[in-house]
């Protein structure tokens, strides 16, 4: 088993991980940094998949106050207000850095200013973009610039297994696995930054990259950090329906609705008129997803159990010029987005909840920093489209700065337990010792169906209780998995590690959803169909070996009573 020492270990190479690496090494070029990805650095993860763009205040008629208000309103008013304020204030600095230091090319207006387009939930057109494939531009430039930095080692196809802490609950490093050899690596580090992404792939229809399995969240949970808002799972309203294809659930970007696209049921009705007549298709993701789901459940869906998005009325040439990536994606499943309606369905997309951190991404474990989708608080009950990559870059940068400052104060590496390492290895190697046992691929399929049916877009007490009980059964099945063959590139073993983490995160989601007895943002309880500010202006917390609990939302920058439209209220059809 290999042993490696470094100053900062960064897990994940999306927007959060790459920005953290840049900021940490820029703070102190003498630091030794390892950035590790389960896939290929800069070629995997979800930031690369971002299509729509990046919300940022650039126009003189816009303001950070407006962006902040939109973010809190969209989040059902349970956001961590300090983190949301940090998000909107740091975003212009990060855009400037992306352009001037990373070489990112955003689309421009004829006068040379950066073009900003409309996005749902925004009171101003503030979404910066590169066509409809913004994430590829951002990640590719950041990756290329990182390779020019000194003392940064990039590890491809090395996944994190478990965080290591010392006897004083300070981070000591991480046990890693080189997937190409099947060999373990102990990385001893002064600080660890976790940015591996969420676990939306626990649902039957989901948008994230296939390697996403909530690894960072599950490791942080097992290490003992507290989580908040885990019931808040965002479903993207326009996931492409491609039956029996890996493209099923792939996102058709929000700009389609922002540009004037229609959402229609099987009868050709623009159904958003029933659910949000003021904003129609430009309503927030949670409301549009729920509306589409209700149309499908009430028998007005398509044969594939979806609805339609239609932008053909915008003109074939306009659609192909504005959305070339989306047109190509639809061509892959035999549809012409520029000339015909395309079948879509809500798809699990993003977790608003995550590890409880402060605005500098510090967790309750000293030396452990968490950024991006792994961290909770900033988005509250629902993330606005365009605030995701903004979150990753803003808080990835802050995590990098904070970790570098911490390491400069931490004079020595922390001691980890050899016994702990051996116990972890024995635990994850146990499936090789079983001649017969459970198949992890079957367990994942059962988890996807369970979460979709019992803890998905529309929830109730009975279904959520069944979800909690079903997840407990899946936890036991995970303990009985059997794996055969060599350790290198063993897909069954990797799937066992994936589903082990997915079930851990699913448990937090279901337990938190069961506790919140109201509807808010992306969390909709048909037995409690309205938002209840009097009883539930709270965040739900969950932690290993503790009962779930709630804490009041801190209203330090804006009073919730001053926000209009943040609640779910009954609408008569």
Which residues are known catalytic residues? Answer: 236, 257
Q: 134-146 and 388-409 helices cross at what angle (nearest 10)?
A: 20
Could you tell me if 352 and 235 are in contact, meaning their C-beta atoms sit under 8 angstroms apart?
A: no
Could you tell me if 455 and 510 are in contact, meaning their C-beta atoms sit under 8 angstroms apart?
A: yes
Beta strands in 79-182 (DSSP E): 116-117, 127-128, 152-155, 158-165, 171-178
3 state DSSP class of 264: strand
Chain center to CA of 489: 26
Question: Residue 151 corresponds to which tokens in the numbers above?
Answer: 């003392």
DSSP lists the bridge partners of residue 433 as none
Could you tell me if 271 and 291 are in contact, meaning their C-beta atoms sit under 8 angstroms apart?
A: yes
Instruction: Give Cβ neighbours of residue 429 (< 8 Å, ≥ 6 apart).
Output: none
3 state DSSP class of 127: strand
Question: Residue 315 corresponds to which tokens in the numbers above?
Answer: 């003109």
* DSSP states along 510-542: HHHHHH--S-BTTB-BTTB-S--HHHH-EEEEE
Could you tell me if 355 and 384 are in contact, meaning their C-beta atoms sit under 8 angstroms apart?
A: no
φ/ψ bin of 92: left (φ > 0), alpha (ψ from -120 to 50), beta (otherwise): alpha
């Amino acid at each position: 088993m290999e042993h490696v020492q470094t100053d900062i270990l960064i897990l994940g190479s999306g927007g959060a991980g790459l920005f953290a690496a840049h900021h940490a090494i820029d703070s102190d070029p003498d630091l030794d940094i390892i950035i590790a990805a389960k896939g290929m650095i800069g070629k995997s993860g979800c930031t690369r998949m971002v299509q729509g763009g990046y919300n940022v205040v650039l126009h003189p008629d816009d303001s950070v106050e407006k962006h902040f208000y939109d973010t809190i309103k969209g989040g059902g008013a349970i956001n961590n207000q300090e983190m949301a304020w940090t998000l909107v204030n740091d975003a212009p600095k990060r855009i400037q850095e992306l352009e001037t230091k990373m070489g990112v090319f955003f689309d421009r207006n004829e006068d040379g200013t950066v073009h900003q387009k409309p996005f749902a939930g925004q009171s101003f057109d503030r979404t910066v973009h590169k066509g409809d494939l913004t994430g590829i531009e951002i990640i590719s430039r950041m990756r290329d610039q990182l390779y020019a930095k000194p003392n940064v080692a990039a590890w491809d196809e090395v996944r994190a297994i478990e965080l290591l802490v010392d006897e004083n609950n300070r981070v000591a490093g991480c046990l890693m696995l080189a997937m190409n050899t099947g060999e373990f690596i102990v990385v001893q580090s002064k600080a660890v930054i976790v940015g591996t992404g969420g676990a939306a792939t626990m649902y039957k229809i989901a948008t994230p990259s296939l390697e996403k399995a909530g690894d960072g969240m599950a490791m942080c949970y097992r290490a003992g950090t507290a989580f908040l808002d885990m019931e808040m799972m965002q479903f993207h309203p326009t996931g492409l329906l491609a039956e029996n294809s890996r493209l099923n659930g792939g996102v058709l970007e929000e700009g389609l609705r922002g540009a004037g696209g229609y959402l229609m049921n099987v009868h050709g009705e623009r159904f958003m008129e029933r659910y949000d007549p003021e904003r129609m298709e430009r309503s927030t993701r949670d409301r549009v997803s729920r509306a589409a789901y209700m149309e499908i459940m009430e028998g007005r869906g398509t044969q594939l159990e979806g609805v339609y998005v239609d932008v053909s009325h915008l003109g074939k040439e306009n659609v192909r010029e504005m959305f070339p990536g989306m047109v190509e994606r639809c061509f892959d499943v035999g549809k012409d987005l520029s000339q015909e309606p395309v079948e879509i369905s809500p798809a699990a997309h993003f977790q608003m909840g995550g590890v409880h951190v402060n605005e500098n991404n510090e967790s309750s474990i000293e030396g452990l920093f968490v950024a991006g989708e792994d961290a909770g608080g900033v988005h509250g009950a629902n993330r606005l489209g365009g605030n995701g990559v903004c979150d990753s870059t803003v808080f990835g940068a802050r995590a990098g700065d904070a970790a570098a400052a911490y390491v400069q104060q931490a004079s020595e590496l922390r001691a980890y337990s050899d016994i702990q390492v051996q116990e972890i290895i024995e635990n994850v190697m146990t499936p090789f010792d079983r001649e017969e046992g459970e198949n992890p691929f079957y367990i994942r399929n059962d988890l996807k169906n369970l979460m979709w049916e019992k803890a998905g877009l529309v929830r109730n007490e009975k279904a959520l209780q069944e979800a909690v009980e079903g997840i407990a059964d899946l936890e036991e099945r995970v303990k009985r998995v059997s794996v055969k063959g060599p350790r290198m590139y063993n897909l069954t073993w990797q799937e066992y590690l994936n589903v082990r983490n997915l079930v851990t995160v699913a448990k937090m989601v279901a337990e938190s959803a069961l506790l919140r007895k109201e509807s808010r943002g992306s969390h909709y309880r048909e037995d409690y169909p309205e938002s209840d500010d009097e009883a539930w202006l709270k965040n739900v917390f969950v932690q290993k070996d503790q009962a779930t609990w709630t804490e009041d939302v801190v209203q330090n920058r804006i009073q919730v009573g001053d926000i209009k439209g943040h609640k779910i209220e009954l609408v008569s059809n």
